A and B are shown apart, each in its own frame.
Chain A
């Protein structure tokens, strides 16, 4: 026999003005399992709580129901109260007779009292099947992994490292730096991108708490918050990093030339190379796809000339598994392939280039040493046309979303053209000009006023070639007439899109992504750097298009979340989690598929059946990952999986209490 105590609160007159609290307490005395029932003016007050504690001790109560306000208000107060009286804090339920009863039915005491009695009966019926629950704890590995070594990853790692935690950066390419290292100047201040990025790269590489793992990829992720086991594939560099001094003799002598990825194919690199002069680590890798030693088995010049003897053709990919407490995804973005728009002739006309190619052309260390020269004939362009929203805001051929950065980088590029070539003219075809950011609108105004960029509102229908000129056909929708602009060069502001393998990586680590392949934050406003997977955070453009200031801000936010997690010695987990009755479980695996947190897996157990030992698969819940949503309990065909504190039995008992007399 259970001994339930019922305590009905008047909340001054908040409840008592429309609920007959004494009648509620009196009626509940006759309800099954109720051993004690009373009402009091302020149950949450000190004397109110004392009343509960005293009753628990004197009446020998083993569970408690308080009929008062919303559990969102005082559930913890009363849980602590019953715990102080020696009960397990989960042997307690609340009936919400204020927010959901007295306040919404102020003029009908009879009906409101009737409802309060029903709510109290439901709570008593539920509490009868409450079981003592304990919070569980899991350890935390005090080390973080940052996936991606662009500005987002670098900033996150520096912030985590400065807080005293060890952090590893895994970067896919041979050097950290990311897209920001390819950019010439940054809006709205026109700071040189390299000048502000390279000190951060150096800081990351020399920080005692940061380990760079470049030319490597995440291969497998297992485990859960606080304890992720991550397998990293360190791709074969063919260069012994401990011996190499980065002197550069090897790549100066290498005979094989390959289009440079860093320069977007506008100049050549060698088969043994560093992506760019400021690369970190500044030690080369051999591109095995093009190196003659690997393709034809000849050459070997680099190994002959290397003064340190660092070249080793026999190095293989290496798999290492490390344990991390938290993971930050900072994998960045790619640019939309503009050749989808056949009418612009990207890829067909050499002088139609992308915005990022323009950055390299105008960069002092780029293929033209900073002289803006057009790719086809190396002449200085006098008329430059910019086309915005190439792939952005176009559901049919591109992406529905706005890429956020293009308006600003186009304005920046227009001013750079005007700055470098005094007698030039620039034309910008646009749909809208969107400049939400500090100093951005002012920058745009300077572009049109001081730098006299011609902004034409309208889309470009096609680009044709006439002689050595490009003819841009478009429409000025403000004047309502077609326009033709003769251009020497056309720059396309291509959309920011997710990495082609972004979805694959998200599945690997185990969190969600949206229809465009961008990673989904836990809450768009209130949890913008968390994912639905505990311990996995987001920074930068992998979450959605954003510019450098926003990326750096988000990186800092992600770092704070990581350090908050890592600074705990153990993680407390809510006890209201799912549990499997393995005797009854048939191992069908439906719960495994439905769980949004990948908390359920199938495990093999041994059983004695008819004197024989058999093996079979059953579901198992990892309580550190389970958040207690209960989706699995409903999908289970045999009701073998139950959510603690919200069991089928408890909810059915509540239903019965409401319906039966």
Chain B
């Protein structure tokens, strides 16, 4: 197994709260801290904005790992959003397991805007874990990006026709 994974470069999606983790990632950059180039950050206003649907969609489209990162418990910019995240994603992990996907592909982490080094640490650790698990072939569909746009446009037209 290890021989298969050595050259494997996973793609990891990070949902980052605008008020903490996104700023923490910026700080990591400002401090020139290096971490594996496998992650792509998607900015959301709050970790509580991350619908489980987004995570499932990412796995369906073949992502190897997903992180949802928000403010530390008690520090949510919007009072309570990260508490919903915490509860929601405990369930999410169990559901992924039930579906036969390694639940370790999916993680939630709390990183504040002042924790550049923690961002680096979390990304490095998560990349290692997901690399070891190997590529996600479980749920991948074979859509092309053009087809995805076409599908959305068709939905839009259908919606307007209604």
Interface residues of A (CB under 8 A from B): 31-33, 70-72, 96, 98-101, 103-108, 111-112, 114-115, 118-119, 121-122, 128-129, 512, 532, 576, 594, 596-597, 627-631, 633-635, 643, 646, 648-649, 651-661
Q: What residues of chain B lie closer than 8 Å to A652, measured between beta carbons?
A: 53-54, 57
Q: Is B62 an interface residue (CB 8 A)?
A: yes
Inter-subunit contact B37/A105 (CB<8 Å): yes
Inter-subunit contact B40/A118 (CB<8 Å): yes
Q: Choose one: A104, A512, A658; the contact of B40 (CB below 8 Å).
A: A658
Closest A residue to B46 by beta carbon equals: A629
Known: A629-B46, A649-B152. A32 touches B37 (CB 8 A): no
Known: A70-B26, A660-B145. A655 touches B49 (CB 8 A): no
A579 to B144, alpha carbons, bound, how many Å?
Answer: 31
Known: A72-B23, A532-B79. A629 touches B45 (CB 8 A): yes
CB-based closest 9 A-B pairs: A99-B29, A630-B49, A659-B61, A629-B78, A103-B29, A111-B37, A596-B79, A660-B145, A99-B26
Q: A51: shortest Cβ distance to chain B, in Å?
A: 25
Q: A169: shortest Cβ distance to chain B, in Å?
A: 29
Interface residues of B (CB under 8 A from A): 9, 11, 13, 22-23, 25-26, 28-30, 32-35, 37, 40-46, 48-54, 57-58, 61-63, 77-81, 84, 88, 120, 143-146, 148-149, 152
Closest B residue to A121 by beta carbon equals: B145
A507 to B137, alpha carbons, bound, how many Å?
Answer: 50
**Contacts A70-B29, A643-B49, A659-B13 known; 13 new A-B pairs at CB < 8 A:** A100-B26, A104-B34, A105-B34, A111-B37, A512-B79, A634-B51, A634-B88, A646-B49, A652-B57, A655-B42, A656-B57, A659-B11, A659-B63
A382 to B112, alpha carbons, bound, how many Å?
Answer: 57
A631 to B50, alpha carbons, bound, how many Å?
Answer: 8
Known: A98-B29, A105-B37, A631-B81. A656 touches B49 (CB 8 A): no
Q: Choose one: B29, B45, B144; the contact of A660 (CB below 8 Å).
A: B144
Q: B48: shortest Cβ distance to chain A, in Å?
A: 4
Q: What residues of chain A lie closer than 8 Å to B34, measured between beta carbons?
A: 104-107
Q: Choose one: A99, A115, A631, A658; the contact of B25 (CB below 8 Å).
A: A99
Q: List 22 A-B contacts (CB under 8 A).
A: A31-B145, A33-B149, A72-B26, A99-B30, A103-B30, A104-B35, A111-B37, A576-B45, A627-B78, A629-B81, A630-B48, A631-B80, A634-B84, A646-B45, A646-B49, A651-B54, A652-B54, A653-B152, A656-B61, A659-B13, A660-B148, A661-B145
Q: What residues of chain B lie closer than 8 Å to A657, measured between beta carbons?
A: 145
Q: A399: shortest Cβ distance to chain B, in Å?
A: 19
Inter-subunit contact B40/A634 (CB<8 Å): no
A631 to B48, alpha carbons, bound, how many Å?
Answer: 5
Q: What residues of chain B lie closer than 8 Å to A629, measured between beta carbons?
A: 45-46, 48-49, 77-78, 81
Q: A538: shortest Cβ distance to chain B, in Å?
A: 15
Tally inter-chain residue pairs, CB-CB below 8 A. Answer: 152
Inter-subunit contact A631/B63 (CB<8 Å): no
A634 to B46, alpha carbons, bound, how many Å?
Answer: 11
Q: Choose one: A96, A100, A651, A653; the contact of B44 (CB below 8 Å).
A: A651
Inter-subunit contact A104/B79 (CB<8 Å): no
Inter-subunit contact A654/B33 (CB<8 Å): no
Q: What residues of chain B lie closer than 8 Å to A654, measured between beta carbons?
A: 42
Q: A562: shortest Cβ distance to chain B, in Å?
A: 22
Q: What residues of chain A lie closer than 8 Å to B53, measured between beta carbons?
A: 648, 652
Inter-subunit contact B51/A104 (CB<8 Å): no
Q: What residues of chain B lie closer than 8 Å to A512, measured between beta carbons?
A: 79
Q: What residues of chain A lie closer than 8 Å to B29, measured between beta carbons?
A: 70, 98-101, 103-104
A108 to B45, alpha carbons, bound, how many Å?
Answer: 30
Closest B residue to A115 by beta carbon equals: B37
Inter-subunit contact A631/B49 (CB<8 Å): yes
Q: What residues of chain B lie closer than 8 Å to A118, measured between beta carbons?
A: 40
A72 to B26, alpha carbons, bound, how many Å?
Answer: 9
Q: A404: shortest Cβ distance to chain B, in Å?
A: 22
Q: What residues of chain A lie closer than 8 Å to B35, measured between beta carbons?
A: 104
Q: B22: shortest Cβ distance to chain A, in Å?
A: 8
Q: What residues of chain B lie closer than 8 Å to A119, measured between beta carbons?
A: 40-41
Inter-subunit contact A655/B149 (CB<8 Å): no
Most buried by B among A99, A105, A107, A108: A99
A122 to B42, alpha carbons, bound, how many Å?
Answer: 8
A628 to B52, alpha carbons, bound, how many Å?
Answer: 19
Inter-subunit contact B57/A655 (CB<8 Å): yes
Inter-subunit contact B41/A100 (CB<8 Å): yes
Known: A103-B29, A655-B13, A658-B63. A630 touches B40 (CB 8 A): no
Inter-subunit contact A104/B45 (CB<8 Å): no
A103 to B29, alpha carbons, bound, how many Å?
Answer: 5
Q: What residues of chain B lie closer than 8 Å to A103, measured between beta carbons?
A: 29-30, 32
A512 to B78, alpha carbons, bound, how many Å?
Answer: 12
Q: What residues of chain B lie closer than 8 Å to A96, measured between beta carbons?
A: 26, 41, 43
A123 to B33, alpha carbons, bound, how many Å?
Answer: 24
Q: What residues of chain A lie closer than 8 Å to B50, measured between beta carbons?
A: 634
Q: What residues of chain B lie closer than 8 Å to A627, measured between beta carbons?
A: 78
Known: A627-B78, A646-B49. A32 touches B149 (CB 8 A): yes
Inter-subunit contact A104/B11 (CB<8 Å): no
Q: A241: shortest Cβ distance to chain B, in Å?
A: 42
Inter-subunit contact B28/A104 (CB<8 Å): yes
Q: B156: shortest Cβ distance to chain A, in Å?
A: 8
Q: A172: shortest Cβ distance to chain B, in Å?
A: 28
Inter-subunit contact B32/A628 (CB<8 Å): no
Q: A483: shortest Cβ distance to chain B, in Å?
A: 42
A108 to B35, alpha carbons, bound, how many Å?
Answer: 11
Most buried by B among A106, A111, A658: A658
